[in-house]
Amino acid sequence: MVMTRINKYAKSHLLPFATITAALGALYAGTGMAADRTSPQADFLPAGRQIAAPTAFLEMCSRSPEDCQQSAAPEADRIVSLARQAMVEKYELAFAHQIGESTHDPVPGAVTPAQWPRLAGNRPDDATPAPAPAVDYDRIDLDSETMAVLKAVNNRVNRTLIADTDAHVYSVNDYWDAPTLTPGARGDCEDFALIKRRLLIAQGIPAAALSLAIVRTRFNEDHAVLVVATKQGDFVLDNLAYRVRPWQKTGYYWVSRQAPGDDLAWVSLAPVPASSAVPAPAIRIAYNR
């Protein structure tokens, strides 16, 4: 009797509901699903014009050129020289109203590069009219083995390095460095990204496929991540997430990124709407460690 009543209910109520659901599903498949199938170009971060590199990045390049180098040829001296020159130019740009025409050396010799003003970088005023680079990153094939390497490095660094501020670790507001990955080591988001970059290069990932990027979180905080350029799209290694995610799934507002084919150049990134929110549990884990 119970089964009979259930069957009668199913025929009179569930079947019409199923029919309506199927119709809605077909309609969704013809509209929303189709709209969700973005073009292959959407798998790759859109690059804008060339902009000034972050000053803390240039400082790091002057100390540790291997952490900036994208080319295979050893060009450490050239990178150091260009980084210091770029910092002087940014100094002049920021303090042009304070520097007289008779001043030959805007940066006193007693001031070390680490003490030079840390400018915001990536400001519209710093942008050059140069178009987006015509060259692309050295895109790798994201097979299962490569993805396993990305996940292993991301998890290892996230579990070992303790999130902390530059002010607490280095006694400065913004200092980029790749810390030694030992128990108790501390660093902020750039440090996480830099040590991941080193480990991936040691695993055979070409440096030209890796780039640092600046984003803004849903809490309007500046944040740095490591982007891996693959033939299947741009994927993100992040200390706020244990998953290696496509850039569209991070929920971030993308600001700027290292440019391809140039050790020191950066490009602006077109405003990208958040496709999904940053998981709150991941953020709490990252900041409570």
pLDDT in tens, 231-253: 999 999 999 999 999 999 999 99
> Is pLDDT at 258 greater than 70 in this prediction?
yes
Region of poorest pLDDT, from 61-70, 224-233, 250-259, 264-273: 264-273
pLDDT for 29: 36
Task: Provide the domain limits for residue 152.
Answer: 44-289
**How many structural domains does the chain have?**
2
Length, in residues, of the chain: 289
- Cα distances from 196 to residues 32, 68, 118, in angstroms, run 37, 13, 24
Kindly indicate the confidence band of residue 289, based on its pLDDT and cuts at 50, 70 and 90.
Answer: very low
- Are 13 and 114 found together in one domain? no
CB distance 51 to 122 below 8 Å: yes
- Are 13 and 126 found together in one domain? no
> Is pLDDT at 17 greater than 70 in this prediction?
no
Q: Is residue 37 part of a domain?
A: no
Kindly indicate the confidence band of residue 112, based on its pLDDT and cuts at 50, 70 and 90.
Answer: very low
Question: Letter for the amino acid at 270?
Answer: A
> Could you tell me which residue, 36 or 194, shows the higher pLDDT?
194
Say if pTM beats, i.e. exceeds, 0.75. no
> Could you tell me which residue, 140 or 38, shows the higher pLDDT?
140
- The phi, psi pair for 254, rounded to 5°, reads -90, 130
- Are 114 and 21 found together in one domain? no
> Could you tell me which residue, 17 or 157, shows the higher pLDDT?
157
- Are 17 and 84 found together in one domain? no
- Are 6 and 123 found together in one domain? no
Q: Is residue 72 part of a domain?
A: yes
End-to-end Cα, the chain, rounded Å: 59
- Are 212 and 126 found together in one domain? yes
> Is pLDDT at 13 greater than 60 in this prediction?
no
Q: Is residue 38 part of a domain?
A: no
Mean pLDDT of the chain: 75
- Are 17 and 58 found together in one domain? no
> Could you tell me which residue, 194 or 101, shows the higher pLDDT?
194
- Are 48 and 118 found together in one domain? yes
- Are 124 and 214 found together in one domain? yes
Q: Is residue 25 part of a domain?
A: yes
Q: Is residue 144 part of a domain?
A: yes
pLDDT for 36: 32
> Is pLDDT at 75 greater than 80 in this prediction?
yes
